[in-house]
């Protein structure tokens, strides 16, 4: 009898343990956190700040002699709408200025009617204009964000700065900007083979694609073994370029009155004349250049003489810069608009175009320089510098120069090491 009781008791205990286990498992299951995975939605897509997920986008280029009306009527936009947009939003953008080759975008509704809702025209890589074609007609201009990066360039000159830049794959605008920086201190018609340069500059990017050159920040131009530095520095709200001592690179006169040419005849007291066939003084410098090449005033002044001399200078003009200096420009094809005797011109103003008028065998500019009414060699004239870095800013300027020179030195060292086959060190900017 006792064994039977123990048997039932043991069975009861097993049942209680089983029930307790089930109860605990149920509690754990009830308390268990169930993770709910939400569906990830794709990020909305934008083009010119317009959400285009529900739109069909057509991209094309403006064709030759193609106008806004030609484009939009292909998409069944009513002529009245086109005329309204062109007339009422002319201050936003004049559709007559649409250029062949520029991009445009038409955005259509994806429904069965494919109704055009927007027209976007890229004015340039940065700026664009949006026209609303739906029930509400409107237009506005916008700009893409521009990213500015600091980059470097370097090269050894074998013929010209332009060829050295372009030949090494750099933007041609960088050659122009660098020649502008050194326009007062380097004669780019007299640069020597194996002259070299290193430059740190700003490069503009839109959507990761380069589209232009910004400011040159620092540069070193080595001419005949001598370094000439240029550093960009702002004081009193204005930026300019200075050398390593804080003297301005700008001078009262530009080194030359035109860009990218060659000297075909130098200043001489006895030169064999190619037309007259005898020797006579040539108190100027001849710059050979294609007809129509722009000619600029090398300094501020007043046009004192302008005219034509058939048997000699052809179309010519004289600019008096001050009581000491006067310059002359001869054999011009024509004069720039608005240039007349008494005109005030600033440094770098367009005054005419290279030609072959008068006694000339081909297109060139005969440029002459007078000091106290006596002809002097334009290539040897020393021009006074402009305003230097002010004393109150000199400490900040010299600190900046130290950093910029360090960057240029590291760049030069990395170039030399790379050319010698050694490992190129990192250049910290």
Q: pLDDT digits over 385-394, tens only? A: 778 999 999 9
- Of the three residues 98, 113, 143, the one that is the final residue of a domain is 143
pLDDT digits (tens, 9 = 90+) for 72-86: 999 999 999 999 999
Q: Which CATH number covers residue 357?
A: 2.70.70.10
Q: What is the pLDDT of residue 17?
A: 52
Residue 113 shares a structural domain with residue 177: no
Say yes or no: 267 and 376 in one domain: yes
Residues 224 and 173 in one domain: yes
How far is the CA of 29 from the CAs of 18, 37, 236, in angstroms?
A: 16, 19, 74
Q: Tell how strand 147-156 and strand 196-206 pair up.
A: antiparallel
- Residues 57 and 88 reside in one and the same domain: yes
Mean per-residue pLDDT, 172-196: 83
Whether 204 and 231 map to the same domain: the answer is yes
pTM of this prediction exceeds 0.85: no
Q: Could you tell me if 238 and 286 lie in one domain? A: no
360 falls within a domain: yes
Domain membership of residue 5 (yes or no) is no
Comparison of pLDDT for 327 and 37, the residue scoring more:
327
Q: Are residues 181 and 275 in the same domain?
A: no
**Under 8 Å between Cβ of 158 and 164:** yes
Mark which of 143, 166, 191 sits at the end of a domain: 143
Query: Is residue 409 one of the residues assigned to a domain?
Result: no
Quick one: pLDDT band at residue 429, thresholds 50, 70, 90? very low
pLDDT tier, 62 (very low <50, low <70, confident <90, very high otherwise): very high
| 251: confidence class by pLDDT, cuts 50, 70, 90 | confident
Name the pLDDT band for 18 (thresholds 50, 70, 90): low
Looking at the 3D structure of the chain, how many domains does it have?
A: 3
Residue 426 covered by a domain: no
DSSP 8-state assignment for residue 134: S
> Do 185 and 219 fall into the same domain?
yes
Summarize pLDDT for 145-158 with one digit per residue, the tens. Answer: 999 999 999 999 98
Tell me, yes or no, whether 277 and 301 share the same domain.
yes
Share of the chain above pLDDT 90, in %: 54
- Residue 370 in contact with residue 326, Cβ under 8 Å? yes
Average pLDDT taken over every residue of the chain: 84
Judge whether 391 lies within some domain: no
Q: Which residue among 143, 168, 198 closes a domain? A: 143
- The domain of 191 spans 147-242
Helix (H) or strand (E) holding 246: none
Q: What is the CATH number of the domain that holds 131?
A: 3.10.450.350
- 413 pLDDT tier (thresholds 50, 70, 90): confident
* Residues 96 and 175 reside in one and the same domain: no
């Amino acid at each position: 009898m006792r064994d039977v009781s123990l048997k039932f008791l043991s069975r009861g205990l097993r049942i209680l343990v089983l029930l307790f286990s089930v109860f605990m498992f149920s509690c754990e299951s009830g308390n268990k956190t169930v993770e709910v995975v939400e569906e990830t939605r794709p990020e909305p897509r934008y083009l010119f700040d317009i959400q285009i997920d529900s739109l069909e986008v057509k991209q094309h280029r403006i064709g030759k002699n193609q106008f806004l009306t030609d484009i939009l009527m292909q998409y069944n936009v009513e002529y009245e709408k086109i005329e309204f947009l062109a007339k009422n939003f002319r201050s936003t953008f004049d559709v007559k200025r649409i250029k062949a080759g520029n991009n445009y975008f038409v955005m259509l509704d994806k429904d069965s009617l494919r109704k055009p809702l927007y027209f976007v025209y890229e004015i340039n890589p940065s700026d664009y204009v949006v026209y609303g074609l739906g029930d509400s007609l409107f237009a506005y201009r916008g700009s893409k964000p521009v990213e500015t990066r600091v980059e470097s360039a370097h090269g050894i000159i074998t013929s010209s700065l332009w060829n050295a830049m372009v030949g090494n794959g750099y933007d041609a605008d960088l050659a122009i900007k660098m020649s502008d920086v050194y326009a007062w201190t380097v004669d780019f018609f007299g640069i020597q083979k194996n002259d070299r340069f290193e430059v740190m500059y700003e490069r503009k990017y839109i959507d990761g694609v380069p589209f232009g050159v910004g400011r040159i920040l620092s540069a070193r131009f080595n001419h005949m073994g001598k370094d000439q530095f240029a550093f960009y520095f702002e004081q009193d709200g204005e930026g300019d370029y200075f050398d390593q001592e804080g003297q301005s690179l700008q001078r009262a006169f530009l080194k030359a009155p035109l860009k990218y040419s060659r000297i075909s005849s130098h200043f001489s007291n006895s030169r064999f004349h190619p037309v007259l066939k005898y020797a006579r003084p040539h108190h100027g410098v001849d710059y050979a250049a294609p007809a129509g090449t722009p000619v600029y005033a090398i300094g501020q002044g007043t046009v004192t003489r302008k005219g034509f001399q058939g048997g000699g200078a052809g179309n010519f003009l004289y600019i008096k810069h001050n009581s000491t200096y006067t310059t002359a420009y001869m054999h011009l094809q024509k004069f720039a608009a608005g240039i007349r005797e008494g005109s005030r011109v600033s440094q770098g103003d367009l005054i005419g175009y290279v030609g072959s008028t008068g006694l000339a065998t081909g297109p060139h500019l005969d440029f002459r320089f007078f000091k106290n009414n006596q002809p002097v060699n334009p290539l040897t004239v020393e021009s006074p510098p402009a305003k230097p870095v002010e004393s109150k800013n000199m400490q900040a300027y010299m600190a900046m120069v130290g950093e910029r020179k360090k960057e240029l030195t590291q760049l030069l060292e990395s170039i030399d090491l790379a050319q010698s086959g050694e490992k190129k060190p990192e250049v910290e900017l």
